Homo-oligomer: A and B are copies of this chain.
């Protein structure tokens, strides 16, 4: 009992640079130099140091290092939601760049309704990350702008005035999607809308304008980012008196909800109903789903965002390069077909 407790305490006692230095018979400074891989140690002592560190099981304390160092080497990343694989794509892109640049990543997760945005950003602030990459922020422009005054921020998938943003042209994408449905002969085309908060009005705008431009009446059904909620809302829409023959959803998650609703109601897609999503997420690409959607290339958005954040860290405050707009691409798959009128 006494023995085992002793062993346990022994094993869990963290080894510090001091310990390594003592064991190797050198100063702490040399251990630090050796572990950072900078010049200033002879090959011989370096080996000696690594040997000691290895034997003692030393792991550098990143907390202490970042306190002592002025280096700007950690990116704070905020993902809106773990159930939308668009954010997985974006994260992969960020990680690719961060790894290549040797930067650390601190990851936090928000929520689809945005209620966690403030907390999560504050956590990043308290963790003293050097820059923040926020994907799918839901909070108002004002709050985001205020936050960006405290720390360099790159907003991904949403344009925020005055904040470096890497996004896809939502008006253009929504226009493509809507036009596609119109060209297929659809007239009653509904838009299953996301919460109409700051920064997410583009898709609705593109839809509205394209509908009006074609002499059609926009039919907007407010909904959410959550698939099950979208399914409920879509069901109500599809059961209504003059149900639409096509639904354009604000994102793939919601579009899948529309497919769920159609399935539940026995409505055949695309024969009786055409559905278009947005994001070209992994789920939309699945053969069994084959959702017609708008590709925004999440992976590339992530890469660009990280690269921009890195440039910001280097002190490149060139305002002209602060935003990246990408043109989305319509991906026609199996959920849209000509309307048989």
Complex: A139 Cα to B190 Cα, angstroms: 48
Check A11 for interface membership: any CB of B closer than 8 A: yes
Residue of B whose beta carbon sits closest to that of A64: B67
Cβ-closest chain B residue relative to A90: B82
Specify which chain B residues have a CB less than 8 angstroms from the CB of A286 in the assembled complex: 227, 256, 260
The answer to whether A8 has its CB under 8 Å from any CB of chain B is: yes
Q: Is the CB of A11 within 8 A of B149?
A: yes
Complex Cα distance A122/B62, Å?
11
Interchain CB contact under 8 A, B57 and A67: no
Interface residues of A in 15-61 (CB under 8 A from B): 57, 59-61
**From B11, B82, B122, B264, contact of A85 by CB (8 A):** B82
How big is the A interface, by class?
35 or more
Given contacts A82-B82, A82-B91, A150-B11, contact A128 B256 (CB under 8 A): no
Which candidate, A105-113, A194-202, A214-222, A238-246, is the interface stretch facing chain B? A105-113
Task: Select which of B62, B87, B261 is within 8 A of A128 by beta carbon.
Answer: B62
A127 touches B (CB below 8 Å): yes
In the assembly, what is the distance between CA of A227 and CA of B127, in Å?
35
Contact A106 B109 (CB under 8 A): no
Q: Does A249 contact B (CB under 8 A)?
A: no
Q: Separation in Å of the A194 CB from the closest CB of chain B? A: 19
List chain B residues, Cβ under 8 A from A83: 85, 88, 282
Q: Which residues of the partner chain B approach A261 to less than 8 Å between Cβ atoms?
A: 287
Residue in B59, B126, B227 whose CB lies within 8 Å of A59:
B126
Chain B residue at smallest Cβ distance from A282: B83
Contacts of A236 in B (CB 8 A): none
A338 to B: closest C-beta gap in Å: 22
CB distance from A263 to the nearest CB of B (A): 4
Q: How far is the CA of A256 from the CA of B106 in the complex (A)?
A: 31
User: Within 8 Å of chain B (Cβ to Cβ): is A325?
Assistant: no
Check A101 for interface membership: any CB of B closer than 8 A: no
* Complex CA–CA separation, A109 to B106 (angstroms): 10
Interface presence of A231 (CB below 8 A): yes
| Nearest B-chain residue to A95, judged by Cβ | B109
Within 8 A of B (CB), among A140-154: 149-151
- Whether, in the assembled complex, A288 has its beta carbon less than 8 Å from a beta carbon of chain B, the answer is yes
Closest Cβ of chain B to A84, distance in Å, is 9
Does residue A66 face the partner (Cβ distance < 8 Å to B)?
yes
- A104–B123 Cα distance when bound, in Å, is 9
Q: Is A12 at the interface (CB under 8 A from chain B)? A: yes
Q: Are A122 and B59 CB-contacts (below 8 A) given A107-B108, A282-B227, A288-B256? A: yes
Q: Is residue A332 within 8 Å, beta carbon to beta carbon, of the partner chain?
A: no
Point out the residues of chain B lying under 8 angstroms from A149, CB to CB: 11
A125-164 interface bits toward B, Cβ cutoff 8 Å, 1 = contact, 0 = none: 1111000000000000000000001110000000000000
| A184: B residues at CB distance < 8 A | none
Contact B288 A59 (CB under 8 A): no
Interface residues of A in 219-269 (CB under 8 A from B): 227, 231, 256, 259-264
Q: 4 smallest A-B Cβ distances: which pairs?
A: A82-B88, A263-B288, A260-B287, A62-B126
Sample 14 A-B pairs with CB under 8 A, ordered by A number: A8-B317, A11-B150, A12-B151, A57-B150, A62-B126, A62-B127, A63-B128, A67-B67, A82-B82, A82-B88, A83-B88, A256-B286, A263-B287, A283-B283
